[in-house]
Structure 1
């Protein structure tokens, strides 16, 4: 009989020398798409590896600050999802294909199990990977995801409350443009993202920093993947969540304009889910509460499958 995956991960197969702190690599999937990846942190044999999944859908990896919170302990992998950022274009934009890409990365890096951390839409993708490959997930973190149930109604109301009438009008004008100049694109992103932060004094500056990324948003991926995930019924999702027996932290910034109720419901639906709210943190809690987030993440990474109280 095949041996079950060990709780102690294997080292990546010769990808980096022990102790090397960074490596950019393009990993080719079985359909020929090259995924941009970056690995940081020491390559220790006993360390549990971590994979970070960015949100969007259709964005690029922006989770380098999150990797920095964990990379003292072991390897942290990040990548641009197919069709996004520095990865190759692709017309195959399905959740099943995205899940297959994650599993291809796990095999490429040679890990038996790893901790999967997904932010925003990446939390949805992390859950889909975990219920498809439960034996490969040592622990899971859903970071500022949307959870179970309706979240858009409360989110839209809070988003609009945080923006001025002038900002809402300008955002509408920019969104309606068939094409935006580089300056208009940065302004569009800044206005769209500045309501995500709990620290309103610094929200505009943080959003502008993120908006300056030199990558195009893949709107096709955004529409297609979001529509697919939106089509999942809650009953269908709940049945699959029961397959995830790994420790699962559902982390939500109390100052995120998205409501806390749906993530809390997700934590209750997971067999070993734990809901954790970060006070005074927004949709990107590494901005406002990096120290508290580090402790939550390290606890999740250290959680063992056989621990009753992790």
Structure 2
């Protein structure tokens, strides 16, 4: 069972967290959600890790059930994560991040290399122009409902329209559109508001990422689905900048590979956690 706790940081920000205890001597893993501006949706990853580790999850600053905050940056996110680490009394832990969370995991490992024995970089965007092919592929996948999506793409939406817009937008992240519509609908019904300010303000450049990659000395597991609309090639370009890359492909999976290929993810997560024991 997850232990829910709201942790107050030094500046007064309140962070909603969940911890799932593993065996006493097991490594600790912190799961980092994407966005920026979304909320924790990584409970399934904690389930796949099972008894391999103690897992910690949280809603990032200003997001989900955490308190509002106008202060948004990668540096602030890294500092928040280290405050949480201190609260959890962890000397070392394995950050496993998804999408933007993968970038945050890398940035943290660069800032505190002595605290990180391994990194999970899952479905990260990498470096180079990933946006153009991503937008083209998302547009292609959305063709069956393009007219309805255009109607919903307005500044103000009702609650029902917001759920529908999220569902149709996020469904294109999956290899199988039928699975995508079902999975995206479940996430779209979250009561949390997307923090658009965080999405705009938490920015980083290729130069930032290349610098972080150069500073990380531990193994970094670059995990990417073959059907992710965000091209694997860009993540692999970043992997080539790492001292100890571990490139892992998830076949027939999109941006959230644990939804479509849970057993492949279970094996990869076990490998990452095992590296964290070293």
**Alignment TM class, shorter chain as reference:** over 0.9
Report the counterpart of residue 174 of structure 2 in structure 1: 197
CA distance in 2, matches of 1:270, 1:31: 34
Moved over 4 A (4+): none
CA distance in 2, matches of 1:137, 1:280: 30
Deviation, structure 1 residue 149: 1.1
Whether 2:78 is the aligned partner of 1:99: answer yes
Deviation, structure 1 residue 235: 3.8
Deviation, structure 1 residue 237: 2.8
Report the counterpart of residue 13 of structure 2 in structure 1: 33
Residues 93 and 116 of structure 2 are in contact (CA less than 8 Å); yes or no, is this contact kept in structure 1?
yes
Q: Can you list the C-alpha shifts for 1:44-101, whole angstroms capped at 9, x where unaligned?
A: 3321100000001100000000110113122100000010000000111111111101
Structure 1 spans left out of the alignment, 5+ residues: 1-20
Q: Can you list the C-alpha shifts for 1:171-212, whole angstroms capped at 9, x where unaligned?
A: 233222x32111000011011101000122322111111101
Report the counterpart of residue 112 of structure 2 in structure 1: 133
CA distance in 2, matches of 1:70, 1:271: 26
Residues 247 and 305 of structure 1 are in contact (CA less than 8 Å); yes or no, is this contact kept in structure 2?
no
Report the counterpart of residue 10 of structure 1 in structure 2: none
Larger radius of gyration: 1
CA distance in 2, matches of 1:103, 1:120: 20
Q: CA RMSD in A?
A: 1.4
Report the counterpart of residue 143 of structure 2 in structure 1: 164
Report the counterpart of residue 81 of structure 1 in structure 2: 60
Which aligned pairs between 1:1-310 and structure 2 lie closer than 5 A?
21-42=1-22, 44-164=23-143, 167-176=145-154, 178-225=155-202, 228-229=203-204, 232=205, 234-303=206-275
Residues 27 and 276 of structure 2 are in contact (CA less than 8 Å); yes or no, is this contact kept in structure 1?
no
* CA gap 1:132/1:25 in 2 versus in 1, 3 angstroms: same
Deviation, structure 1 residue 304: 5.3
User: If the length of structure 1 is used for normalisation, what is the TM-score?
Assistant: 0.86
* CA gap 1:280/1:33 in 2 versus in 1, 3 angstroms: same
CA distance in 2, matches of 1:54, 1:22: 17
Report the counterpart of residue 5 of structure 1 in structure 2: none
Secondary structure in 2 aligned to 1:242?
Answer: helix
Structure 2 spans left out of the alignment, 5+ residues: none
